[in-house]
Amino acid sequence: MVDKALGGAGLRGQVAGQTALCTVGQTGSGLTYCGYDISELAEKAQFEEVSYLLSRGELPTETELRDYKAKLKSLRGLPASLKTVLEHIPKDAHPMDVMRTGCSMLGNLETEHDFSQANDAIDRMVAVFPSIICYWYRFTHDGVRIETETADDSVGAHFLTMLHDKAPSELFAQVMNVSLILYAEHEFNASTFTGRVCASTLSDIHSCVTGAIGTLRGPLHGGANEAAMDMIEGFKDADHAEQEIMAMLERKDKIMGFGHAIYRESDPRNVIIKKWSEKLAAEVGDDVLYPVSVRCEEIMWREKKLFCNADFFHASAYHFMGIPTKLFTPIFVMSRVTGWTAHVKEQRANNRIIRPSADYTGPAARSYTPITAR
């Protein structure tokens, strides 16, 4: 007999290891990276400080941050053979598949042979992932081979400049910075757990990240920001959104961008990105998408006590900055690579191969039937 409770339980509530990197929902809603509260980081930090914190364990000094940012800036260039691979990926490929292939190809070209050099591989991925996605996107959609070494000082601004061929406004750069901080790390979520399982076999860091990208791609995880955008874009106004959401709930459809496996009251990242989405809506003169999003949030709470997770207001925020919907989840990758790789190092530092057991539910022992007798 299949135990449905076990099969459908998704390991929820089971402690699968230890981490010093992050706490999620310990008070029902909180989130900290290495002890720092997400609200404070999102308000005061640069993404590069958070990235440094996750890879080195402490926030950088002024000099360390300057050197770190200079290092990232020097690592943005794409090897010629990686450009060739990207140019051969079709225009209608999903950008998450491009990220997966890009990361995997990088692992062929710059293989991590020595775990003690992991930070070099990590810095390279943080620096070059925006170049990978923008190079492919602009080549296949606009027919141009972009320059990936821009003057921008931050990962977020670098991404927007390559995408739009011009430096972003201060507001857009600020929102990208906050967004990358919010998405950076989240304990044993599905993609990070994938990365840790891979790390536990003592595989290389690019394999760990490639697997994590594939896991993040799904709409129940990182892909929800794209799926939420597809949904809200179909609503003409807030009243139409209400009608449609009610019908979806009636049909027991999943509403993307709502609910969470761990948080029970709210996702602390939502209030932050929602505020920035509202600012952006005012900046670009939106009077549809933001009110639609707010109405969705109200209905879901009223009807189901389900709250927006990090992905929901990211959809409108990214849209207001002119980012194509299909690039939403790759931005998540550009950020979460910092968390994934910190977990890879943590796993390696105290490793035992991750290998749980399963309850067998198949047929009882039976003898082999010759093929002519079947």
Lay out the site mask for ligand ACO across 7-46 (x = CB under 6 A, - = otherwise). Answer: ----------------------------------------
Under the criterion CB under 6 A, does residue 271 sit at the interface with ligand OAA? no
Under the criterion CB under 6 A, does residue 103 sit at the interface with ligand OAA? no
Annotated catalytic residue, options 94, 164, 221, 240: 221
Annotated catalytic residue, options 206, 260, 319, 343: 260
For this structure, is 164 an active site residue?
Answer: no
Q: Which lies closer to ligand ACO via its Cβ, residue 95 or residue 257?
A: 257
The one segment of 27-35, 55-63, 119-127, 307-315 that binds ligand ACO by CB under 6 A: 307-315
Under the criterion CB under 6 A, does residue 262 sit at the interface with ligand OAA? yes
Neighbours of 26 (CB within 10 A): 10
Is 150 within 8 Å of 161 (Cβ atoms)?
Answer: yes
For this structure, is 221 an active site residue?
Answer: yes
Under the criterion CB under 6 A, does residue 308 sit at the interface with ligand ACO? no
Under the criterion CB under 6 A, does residue 257 sit at the interface with ligand ACO? yes
Q: Could you tell me the smallest distance in angstroms from the CB atom of residue 190 to ligand OAA? A: 6
The one segment of 143-151, 252-260, 346-354, 365-373 that binds ligand ACO by CB under 6 A: 252-260
Annotated catalytic residue, options 152, 311, 314, 319: 311
Q: Could you tell me the smallest distance in angstroms from the CB atom of residue 31 to ligand ACO? A: 11
Q: Could you tell me the smallest distance in angstroms from the CB atom of residue 320 to ligand OAA? A: 21
Under the criterion CB under 6 A, does residue 71 sit at the interface with ligand ACO? no
Among 24, 54, 127, 255, binds ligand ACO (CB under 6 A): 255
Residues 73-102: b if buried by 16+ CB within 10 A, e if exposed: bebbebeeebbebbeebeeeeebbebbbbb
Which residues, numbered 179-218, are part of the site for ligand OAA (CB under 6 A)?
Answer: 186, 189
Measured in residues, the chain has a length of 374
Q: Could you tell me the smallest distance in angstroms from the CB atom of residue 120 to ligand ACO? A: 28
Q: Could you tell me the smallest distance in angstroms from the CB atom of residue 306 to ligand OAA? A: 14
Q: Which lies closer to ligand ACO via its Cβ, residue 13 or residue 363?
A: 13
Q: Measuring CA to CA, which residue among 58, 10, 55 is closest to residue 36?
A: 58
3-state secondary structure the chain: CCCHHHHCCCCCCCCCCCCCCEEECCCCCCEEECCEEHHHHHHHCCHHHHHHHHHHCCCCCHHHHHHHHHHHHHCCCCCHHHHHHHHCCCCCCCHHHHHHHHHHHHHHHCCCCCHHHHHHHHHHHHHHHHHHHHHHHHHHHHCCCCCCCCCCCCHHHHHHHHHHCCCCCHHHHHHHHHHHHHHCCCCCCHHHHHHHHHHHCCCCHHHHHHHHHHHHCCCCCCCHHHHHHHHHHCCCCHHHHHHHHHHHHHCCCCCCCECCCCCCCCCHHHHHHHHHHHHHHHHHCCCCHHHHHHHHHHHHHHHHCCCECCCHHHHHHHHHCCCCHHHHHHHHHHHHHHHHHHHHHHHHHCCCCCCCCCCCCCCCCCCCCCHHHC
Lay out the site mask for ligand OAA across 8-47 (x = CB under 6 A, - = otherwise). Answer: ----------------x-----------------------
Is 129 within 8 Å of 337 (Cβ atoms)?
Answer: yes
Q: Could you tell me the smallest distance in angstroms from the CB atom of residue 193 to ligand ACO? A: 12
Under the criterion CB under 6 A, does residue 221 sit at the interface with ligand ACO? yes
For this structure, is 94 an active site residue?
Answer: no
Among 167, 261, 271, 354, binds ligand OAA (CB under 6 A): 261
Under the criterion CB under 6 A, does residue 261 sit at the interface with ligand ACO? yes
d(CA 172, CA 179) in angstroms, rounded, equals 10
Give the residues lining the site for ligand OAA (CB under 6 A): 24, 186, 189, 261-262, 309-310
Give the residues lining the site for ligand ACO (CB under 6 A): 220-222, 224, 254-261, 306, 309-311
Active site residues: 221, 260, 311
